[in-house]
Amino acid sequence: MAAPPALPWRVVWITGASTGIGAEIARQLAARGITVAVSARSADKLSALAQANPRLKPYPLDVTDAEAVIATFAAIERDCGVVDLVLAAAGTYAPVQLDALSPAPFRSMYETNYLGVVNVLSAVLPAFRARRSGHLAWIASVAGYRGLPKAAAYGPTKAALINLAESLKPELEADGVRVSVINPSFVRTPLTAQNDFPMPFLMDADEAARRSIAGLAAGRFEVAYPIRFVALLKFARLLPYRLYFALIRRNVLRR
Ligand SMILES: NC(=O)c1ccc[n+]([C@@H]2O[C@H](COP(=O)([O-])OP(=O)(O)OC[C@H]3O[C@@H](n4cnc5c(N)ncnc54)[C@H](OP(=O)(O)O)[C@@H]3O)[C@@H](O)[C@H]2O)c1
């Protein structure tokens, strides 16, 4: 079998790398000779990852702490050298329960999923723009394409991340900085393990990681998978509300 093509990065920083898609991307990149700084709150899980491959360097971090994000990026560049790719994958999900609706989960998902990425962006951008190089990517979701039942707190954070990427790409591209947004559908990880509903086109995390890496290495703006489900959801995005809500009632709520 032919060897996979060489990857365009020497040092990569991934947040949300202790489990799931982030951890799997980190493992696969390290296996291909790249130094990967891995961040998440669980220091024990990051150490366990690093024991499996010394190219994985643990930097425990809570992405909601903007000052800690700045300090962590500085420490990684000091220890590992210039970071070529930053992938902000840290995220959290909880379904919205209408019987017990409160602002707390909305605030917490917004702070981690959206402002966590903004914290990373703010820490990294001055260096990337000064060097006129670097690749910035974050994981949003197909749940950001349109409103979905149970996702009233999670979905808006992912829609915001897609919009953030669209807003920044043209100007940052002119500054020599690449921007990508990854929109997975359902992937088997601790985040989806709690779901009690059918997850169409459910994919394993190693396959999601392979597709993420291939898309980023090809320099694509949007990396979305699996393509058949993505195409369906993009089509649903074009439907007028009357038809969209009828589709959701019939296929998601099954009423
Ligand atoms: N699985 C899916 O079907 C799916 C689909 C679309 C998009 N996504 C997105 O993909 C990304 C990865 O999710 P996953 O499915 O791989 O879930 P996961 O296994 O639960 O991974 C989430 C990661 O984020 C970290 N994290 C959470 N809060 C954090 C914080 N405040 N600071 C730093 N790290 C934090 C977690 O580690 P600690 O708890 O140790 O901090 C963990 O490493 C998320 O952004 C998710 O929204 C997932």
**Catalytic (active-site) positions:** 154
The average confidence (pLDDT) of the chain is: 96
Length of the chain: 255
pLDDT in tens, 205-222: 999 999 999 999 999 999
The alpha carbon of 22 and the centre of ligand 1 are apart by a number of angstroms equal to 7
62 C-beta closer than 6 A to ligand 1: yes
**Which residue is closest in CA terms to ligand 1's atom 30?**
62
16 C-beta closer than 6 A to ligand 1: yes
111 C-beta closer than 6 A to ligand 1: no
**Which residue is closest in CA terms to ligand 1's atom 32?**
62
Reading the chain (255 residues) residue by residue, the pLDDT tens digits are 677 778 999 999 999 999 999 999 999 999 999 999 999 999 999 999 999 999 999 999 999 999 999 999 999 999 999 999 999 999 999 999 999 999 999 999 999 999 999 999 999 999 999 999 999 999 999 999 999 999 999 999 999 999 999 999 999 999 999 999 999 999 999 999 988 888 999 999 999 999 999 999 999 999 999 999 999 999 999 999 999 999 999 988 887
CATH number of 11-251: 3.40.50.720
Per-domain residue ranges for the chain? 11-251
12: β partners: 36, 85
**Alpha carbon distance 87, 161 (integer Å):** 13
Residue among 199, 180, 234 nearest 25 (CA): 180
